[in-house]
Structure 1
Amino acid sequence: MTGLQLADASLSPQSGTLFGEGRFRRFPGDGELDLDTVIRPLLDKGGLLTVGVEVFGDAIDALTTQDAGVRAAETVQTALARATR
Structure 2
Amino acid sequence: MTDDLNLKTDTRQANWRRANAEKYRAHLAVQRALKSGTLTKGVCEVCGGESVDAHHDDYGKPLVVRWFCRRHHTRLHSGGEDLFPLQA
TM class, shorter-length: under 0.3
Q: Which has the higher contact order (CA 8 A, sep 6+)?
A: 1
TM-score by length of 2: 0.23
TM-score by length of 1: 0.23
- Rg larger in structure: 2
